[in-house]
Amino acid sequence: MPEFGPPDFTSIDIRVGTVLTAEPFPEARKPAYKLTIDFGPELGVKRSSAQLTAHYQPPDLVGRQVIAAVNLGTRRIATFDSDVLVLGAMPAASEVILISPDRAVANGTRIA
């Protein structure tokens, strides 16, 4: 029986992490925050530049669980190395609504 979905999707490692810090990123070309996210003992703490300013303030993000692609490589954004891509729904080009589990799970839990 063939696997469900395109084979390239299964190569993306998507995990749950908890935001530890969130701060403005004025050097970014588009409004964004610098996040540090705990992905548990296997992956550790990673950083992300996320364009979440339309719906979130930094204090609202700290302690929140998020979903991120963790194996896409590091991308340099202005003066910041972004290690993971935080995932969200985009009702408009400048809006991101975070995707998160509806119940708390351990940091580093895989999304499948």
- Report which of residues 2 and 15 the model is more confident about: 15
pTM of the model: 0.90
Torsion (CA) 73, 79, 85, 87 in degrees, nearest 10:
-170
pLDDT, tens only, 69-89: 999 999 999 989 999 999 999
pLDDT, tens only, 40-65: 999 999 999 999 999 999 999 999 99
pLDDT, tens only, 8-31: 777 899 999 999 999 999 999 999
Domains defined along the chain, listed by start: 9-98 (2.40.50.140)
Secondary structure letter of residue 7 according to DSSP: T
pLDDT of residue 32: 96
pLDDT of residue 1: 43
